[in-house]
Amino acid sequence: MNLKNENPDILNFLANLSNDEVFTPTKLASRVLEELPDDIWSNPDIKILDPVCKTGIFLREAASKFNKGLKNKIKDDKKRIDHILKNQIYGIAITELTSLVSRRSVYYSRDTKSKFSICKKFNDGNGNISYNISNHKWSNDRCIYCGASKIQYDRLDSAEKYAYEFIHTKNPEELFKDMKFDVIIGNPPYQLSDGGHSRSASTIYHLFVENAKRLNPKYLSMITPSRWFVGGKGLDQFRKDMLSDKRLKKIVDYETSSEVFKGADIAGGVNYFLWDRDHDGKCEIVNIRKDIESSSARSLNDFDVLIRDNKALKIIKKIKSLEISNGKTLKDRVSPRKVFNLSTNYPPKNSGIPCWYIQRIGKKFANKKDITDSNNLINKWKLLVPKAPIAGQTDFSKPVGFYYNGNTILAKPGECCTESWIVAGAFNTEKETKNFKSFLFTKIVRFLLLQSVISQDVTRRNFMFVPDLINYDRIYDDKYLVKKWNISEKEWEYIDSRITKISNE
């Protein structure tokens, strides 16, 4: 008896629920499972949990691997399959619908009491794949577990609440009556609309990772967006914890989500990681771009963020070592957002302080009483750059361009701007400002900027790897910086391939 037939796999053709709840293709699920040690599949005592079942693909593929690995220990096919499905495979579905799909994938029937089920050793028709309606717990109109908005999600049981059972508890072990799992694996929901402006959403995938760790499995592997490497709403503590956790054994990073999820566009790409409870050392980082792989074993806490690109890391460390006498970066020079306290939708005035609005409006005016200038920038020459210079771009495997003549502004003394712009640099003279602009426009500087960018927005924090030269007394170009920072020919070729040429638009 086989747990998989030879017909085309329908799970590869299901439409994704959304970009936030993405079905896992068979190929990716298999690759994630292959990261686990081979001896797992020949051990009849191993227990595997998927706490975020959508199609049951992880459990189905794991059952298939157990079926092969246990042939010498449980020779009877029927007894072996019954043992695997009854004692080794467990799941929690994220919705009632996905519980039915998952049971169909694993047991060949949505009801294990059905004549079509390949395992009837259960007390009820759910088998080991459960779905229980959970409720948000409100405090100040927010769920204390996931941050959901009470206005949006305080619903009747007949409507989907997105109160995922696995993360709506501080003690996940209580969900399993203290059952111990050796492996926890899955592809959790990524975010939840939080009732904020426009399509604002709160990240939630890290909550699944954190509760999985609380169960203290031997191995933990989950697929997540790669935005946690650098940014992401509410992810600062999670990133700090992950980068300091020496149990992280491997991270496989896909720079663009289309490499693995057809039809889903996840800004900044996706990754999966292998967390090994007994590992204590460096983490292997595997970069995958257009089916080309490169890997490097390294410490994760060299910086406050994870530099995903192994080649870029070497370049950053080289430049940092050469600029060690100064040590400052543009992160300290670039202004914070809303530097003049004027929001993006601040209405233009007919008179007052000259003010730069979004590009289609251009320069208008702002009331002096509405402006704050705690950084003393108004009376200086300023290079203004857009806060979202690569709006709409999510595929960072393609060459990226940040700034060009058409999307930057040389603001004169006496001028300000709305939140649509940030002040990249402010100087006493026009010449210094233009010199600074030439520095910012080099491919090398924009490449350094790329290493901390994982969405369309760029803030001062993203300039953390760009050295501040302090004195901008000349026009800069890449030829000058290649020599200054000892960039090798191969390194330059790589930088050149990753950054678009400056446009004169």
Smallest CA-to-CA distance from 49 within 247, 223, 220 is with 220
Identify whether 10 is part of a domain: no
Question: What's the whole-number mean pLDDT along residues 478-502?
Answer: 95
Identify whether 505 is part of a domain: no
**Pairing, β 381-386 against β 421-427:** antiparallel
Identify whether 7 is part of a domain: no
Say if residue 337 is in the same domain as residue 412: yes
pLDDT digits (tens, 9 = 90+) for 158-198: 778 899 999 999 999 999 887 899 999 999 999 987 655 44
Identify whether 440 is part of a domain: yes
Identify whether 75 is part of a domain: yes
Question: What's the whole-number mean pLDDT along residues 77-85?
Answer: 96
Residue 299 parent element (H or E): none
Say if residue 146 is in the same domain as residue 196: yes
Question: What's the whole-number mean pLDDT along residues 219-231?
Answer: 95
Say if residue 272 is in the same domain as residue 386: no
Q: What is the pLDDT of residue 199?
A: 57
Residue 143 confidence (pLDDT) above 60? yes
Smallest CA-to-CA distance from 81 within 119, 112, 53 is with 119
Say if residue 157 is in the same domain as residue 293: no
Residue 423 confidence (pLDDT) above 90? yes
The rounded radius of gyration (Å) of the Cα atoms in the chain is 26
β strands within 262-313, DSSP E = 270-276, 283-289, 292-298
Residue 505 confidence (pLDDT) above 50? no
Could you tell me the residue range of the domain that residue 433 belongs to?
Answer: 316-498
Choose the final residue of a domain: 291, 308, 325. 308
Q: What is the pLDDT of residue 194?
A: 64
Q: What is the pLDDT of residue 156?
A: 80
Domains: count for the chain: 3
Residue 169 near residue 146, CB atoms below 8 Å: no
Say if residue 113 is in the same domain as residue 245: no
Say if residue 342 is in the same domain as residue 251: no
Residue 7 confidence (pLDDT) above 70? no
Q: What is the pLDDT of residue 282?
A: 96
Say if residue 335 is in the same domain as residue 465: yes
Q: What is the pLDDT of residue 178?
A: 76
β strands within 216-280, DSSP E = 219-225, 248-254, 270-276
Say if residue 297 is in the same domain as residue 336: no
Q: Which of 323-332, 421-430, 491-500 has the lowest mean pLDDT?
A: 323-332
Q: What is the pLDDT of residue 5?
A: 47
Q: What is the pLDDT of residue 503?
A: 65
pLDDT digits (tens, 9 = 90+) for 230-253: 988 889 999 999 999 999 999 999
Say if residue 232 is in the same domain as residue 369: no
Q: For residue 487, what pLDDT band results from cuts at 50, 70 and 90?
A: very high
Q: Mind giving me the DSSP string for 440-476?
A: HTSHHHHHHHHTT--SS---GGGGTTSB--S---S--
Identify whether 338 is part of a domain: yes
Choose the final residue of a domain: 164, 181, 216. 216
Q: For residue 1, what pLDDT band results from cuts at 50, 70 and 90?
A: very low
Identify whether 2 is part of a domain: no
Counting residues of the chain whose pLDDT is more than 90, the rounded percentage is: 77
Q: For residue 325, what pLDDT band results from cuts at 50, 70 and 90?
A: low
Q: What is the pLDDT of residue 17?
A: 56
Identify whether 486 is part of a domain: yes
Residue 358 confidence (pLDDT) above 60? yes
* Gap between the terminal Cα atoms of the chain: 65
Say if residue 44 is in the same domain as residue 103: yes
Choose the final residue of a domain: 216, 244, 274. 216
Say if residue 233 is in the same domain as residue 204: no
Residue 305 near residue 464, CB atoms below 8 Å: yes
Residue 257 confidence (pLDDT) above 50? yes
Indicate the Cα dihedral angle 105, 109, 112, 115, nearest 10°. Answer: -140
Say if residue 256 is in the same domain as residue 364: no
Q: Is 275 exposed, middle or buried, given 0-12, 13-18 or 19+ CB atoms closer than 10 A?
A: buried
CA atoms lying within 13 Å on the CB side of residue 182: 15
pLDDT digits (tens, 9 = 90+) for 265-319: 888 899 999 999 999 999 999 999 888 899 999 999 999 999 999 999 999 999 9
Among the ranges 16-25, 186-195, 487-496, which has the highest mean pLDDT value? 487-496
Residue 14 confidence (pLDDT) above 80? no
**How high is the mean pLDDT of the chain?**
91
**For residue 332, what are the contacts with CB-CB under 8 A and spacing of at least 6?**
468
